[in-house]
Structure 1
Amino acid sequence: MPAVLFSSRFLFFFTTLPILVSIALYRLDTFDPAHHTADSLVYSNASIPPLINDKFLSGAEFIVVGLLSSPEDIAYHKDSGLIYTGCVDGWVKRVKVTESVNESVVEDWVNTGGRPLGIAFGIHGEVIVADANKGLLNISGDGKKTELLTDEAEGVRFKLTDAVAVSDNGVLYFTDASYKYSLHQFSFDILEGKPHGRLMSFDPTTRVTRVLLRDLYFANGVSMSPDQTHLIFCETPMRRCSKYYINGGRVEVFIHGLPGYPDNIRYDGDGHYWIAMPSGVTTLWKLSMKYPFLRKITAIAAKYGYEPMFMEDAGVLQVDLDGNPIAYYHDQKLSHITTGVKIGNYLYCGSLLQSHIIRLDLLKYPAQNKKI
């Protein structure tokens, strides 16, 4: 009899009780994920290009290993030959680009006191930084002066200033990925599935911040078109990039149904955009996007310290000016790639995970036709 009683208690405490506690936590938790739109749940091969390199890491080189802490975005300054990147410790660092990765040199340039993400160059030599915590910053005087340009619009403060692009007339275009969640909480914004993002502009002459688009789903990377008529911006959970026409404010889809979740998008000056994707579309991602209750369970787990964002098969997609996919560089073992910038014959990639910049020689390790 005691043995039977012990077995019953054991079964209750180690099976039934955890289930009851989980049900209670689920019902009491106020996190309320939304259903995603039908178009965001469509998965096809339409955005898969004919040219593919699915062994990115096999040819990758690692630059300044251990000297960069999560270099999220990177921007190349042609005149100086320097790469600028923002790190999780607040530093905007400069890396000298060389043919040999062993000869690369890192300089601690400016510490914003926040978390620098997007980086672009102003028309008067400034470095414009989208700092997730601080807002939109202007660094001038070769790093001697840091100025806050704007940190709110329409009375709503930025919570996650993300990416920035500069037009030829000096107007800055940037995204606030979420006005509800900070960078440390970004996974909750994606899991909630509600549009908290905005696309905005800042005019340095008038000092006016304008909201161009609101109700965006985690508004992320932004790039100016070469003819200066429109912007391309990314919405991460929707797996799409859209055009915003500066005159008139018209919006149209640029590319959708991406093979991953887009982060930054960069124009290479040679007729192509490069879209970085921190993760490919996995079965778990598909199920989570389709069923809100799974995203709620994931969010509850995250509140107790469990990492909710499973990322793998990251890469960079090359597309033409019309959004037609050309080449895809990715790897099943790669994750958290946030930026892809083409410099010469190399593709340089930033990351939210690594302590270095990743480089791939596009001539030596080209994407190839997999349909042959």
Structure 2
Amino acid sequence: MPLFFFSLRFLFLSAIIPLLASIVLYRFDTFDPALLPSDALVYSTDSISPLINDQLLTGAEFIGAGLLNSPEDIAYHRDSGLIYTGCVDGWVKRVKALESVNDSVVEDWVNTGGRPLGIAFGLHGEVIVADAYKGLLNISDDGKKTELLTDEAEGVKFKLTDAVAVRDNGVLYFTDASYKYNLHHFAFDLWEGKPHGRLMSFDPITRTTRVLLRYRYFSNGISMSADQTHLVFCETPLRRCSKYYINEERVEVFIQSLPGYPDNIRYDGDGHYWIAMPSGVTMLWKLSFRYPFIRKLQGLAAKYGFDTMIFENAGVLQVDLDGKPIALYHDSKHSHVTSGVKIGKYLYCGNLVYSHILRLDLLKYPAQKRL
């Protein structure tokens, strides 16, 4: 009999008490996820590309292996032939990519003291950096001078300065993915499911920062159109990219129901945009975005050190100027692809977790028609 009561007490202590504690934590935790817009939960076939390479890692080469710590964005400077990328240790690095990856050269150029994400080039040789923690930076005089351009708008500080593009009149357009959560806690912005992102502009002549669009869902990558009339920017949890017409100040959908969650978007100068997706759509992501209570559980788990964000089947989608899918390059074994840039015959991919830039020869390993 004593053994029986001991077993009951053990069952109570090991199962019932943790369960009750979990219920209490859930009920009284102030983290309050919201329902996402209904169109974010639609999984249509509109964004399925006719061409596919589902083995991105096959034939891939790794540039700067061990020398590039999570190179998030990639910007190619055509005049110098150099690739600029921002790393998690604060370095903006310059890469000379040669035919042989072993001969490629990586240079520590400028350390922002923060986390450089988006990179673009100004009209007079400047390098414009969207630093997640610092704000919008201007690096000039071949790296000798770093200037903070702006770090707030309408009295609200940027929490996650993300991506930047430059118009031919010198005006800078950029995103603040969240005014509530910084990069270290970006997952909570996704889990909360509320629009904390903004699209903004900075005029270097008037030194004015304008908020162009508010209430965006984790506003991420941004690219200027070839004709300079509009921007294309991404909203990660909605799996959507939208156009913002600069003169008309209006928005329309560019592409939606993407096969993954978009990060950076790059125009290649040849009639195509390349949309990087750190993860494809998985069952867990589907359920999380459909049901706020699951995202609340994920948030609670994260507060106690358990990471439930699973990234897989990452890749890059090539689309035309109208947002029509052309080709998808992805791999079920790959994750955290944050940028894709076509330079010559190669696709270069940045990421959030690896110590290299991935390069794929598009002629040797092309996307092919679906079977």
Question: Residue 11 of structure 2: SS of its match in structure 1?
Answer: helix
Question: Where in structure 2 are the equivalents of 1:272-351 lying within 5 Å?
Answer: 272-351=272-351
User: What's the counterpart of residue 147 of structure 2?
Assistant: 147
Number of residue pairs matched?
A: 371
- Following superposition, the deviation at residue 198 of structure 1 comes to 0.2
* Alpha-carbon separation, structure 2, partners of 1:237 and 1:27: 25
User: What's the counterpart of residue 160 of structure 1?
Assistant: 160
Query: In the TM superposition, what whole-angstrom CA distance separates every residue of 1:20-51 from its partner, at most 9, and x where no partner exists?
Result: 11111101100000001111000122101010
* Alpha-carbon separation, structure 1, partners of 2:76 and 2:356: 16
User: What's the counterpart of residue 43 of structure 1?
Assistant: 43
User: Given residue 159 of structure 1, which amino acid in structure 2 is its aligned partner?
Assistant: K
Query: In the TM superposition, what whole-angstrom CA distance separates every residue of 1:285-306 from its partner, at most 9, and x where no partner exists?
Result: 0000000000000000001111
Query: In the TM superposition, what whole-angstrom CA distance separates every residue of 1:260-307 from its partner, at most 9, and x where no partner exists?
Result: 000000000000000000000000000000000000000000011111
User: What's the counterpart of residue 91 of structure 1?
Assistant: 91
Question: Residue 360 of structure 1: SS of its match in structure 2?
Answer: strand
8 Å contact kept, 2:63–2:359: yes
* Alpha-carbon separation, structure 2, partners of 1:153 and 1:250: 20
- Following superposition, the deviation at residue 308 of structure 1 comes to 2.7
User: What's the counterpart of residue 30 of structure 1?
Assistant: 30
Structure 1, unmatched stretches of 5+, are none
User: What's the counterpart of residue 82 of structure 2?
Assistant: 82
User: What's the counterpart of residue 172 of structure 1?
Assistant: 172
- Following superposition, the deviation at residue 14 of structure 1 comes to 1.5
User: What's the counterpart of residue 186 of structure 2?
Assistant: 186
* Alpha-carbon separation, structure 2, partners of 1:226 and 1:80: 21
Say yes or no: does 1:108 pair with 2:77.
no
Question: Residue 215 of structure 1: SS of its match in structure 2?
Answer: strand
User: What's the counterpart of residue 67 of structure 1?
Assistant: 67
* Alpha-carbon separation, structure 2, partners of 1:167 and 1:128: 12
User: What's the counterpart of residue 355 of structure 1?
Assistant: 355
User: What's the counterpart of residue 15 of structure 1?
Assistant: 15
User: Given residue 141 of structure 1, which amino acid in structure 2 is its aligned partner?
Assistant: D
* Alpha-carbon separation, structure 2, partners of 1:340 and 1:292: 31
User: What's the counterpart of residue 249 of structure 2?
Assistant: 249
- Following superposition, the deviation at residue 370 of structure 1 comes to 1.2
* Alpha-carbon separation, structure 1, partners of 2:303 and 2:345: 43
* Alpha-carbon separation, structure 1, partners of 2:218 and 2:309: 15
8 Å contact kept, 1:187–1:308: no
User: What's the counterpart of residue 260 of structure 2?
Assistant: 260
User: Given residue 155 of structure 1, which amino acid in structure 2 is its aligned partner?
Assistant: G
User: What's the counterpart of residue 365 of structure 1?
Assistant: 365
* Alpha-carbon separation, structure 2, partners of 1:81 and 1:14: 62
User: Given residue 310 of structure 1, which amino acid in structure 2 is its aligned partner?
Assistant: I
User: What's the counterpart of residue 223 of structure 2?
Assistant: 223
User: What's the counterpart of residue 202 of structure 2?
Assistant: 202
Question: Residue 13 of structure 1: SS of its match in structure 2?
Answer: helix
TM-score normalised over the length of structure 2: 0.99
* Alpha-carbon separation, structure 1, partners of 2:310 and 2:32: 21
8 Å contact kept, 2:63–2:97: no
Deviates more, 1:131-140 or 1:77-86: 77-86
8 Å contact kept, 1:175–1:200: yes
TM-score normalised over the length of structure 1: 0.99
* Alpha-carbon separation, structure 1, partners of 2:28 and 2:191: 18
Question: Residue 5 of structure 1: SS of its match in structure 2?
Answer: helix
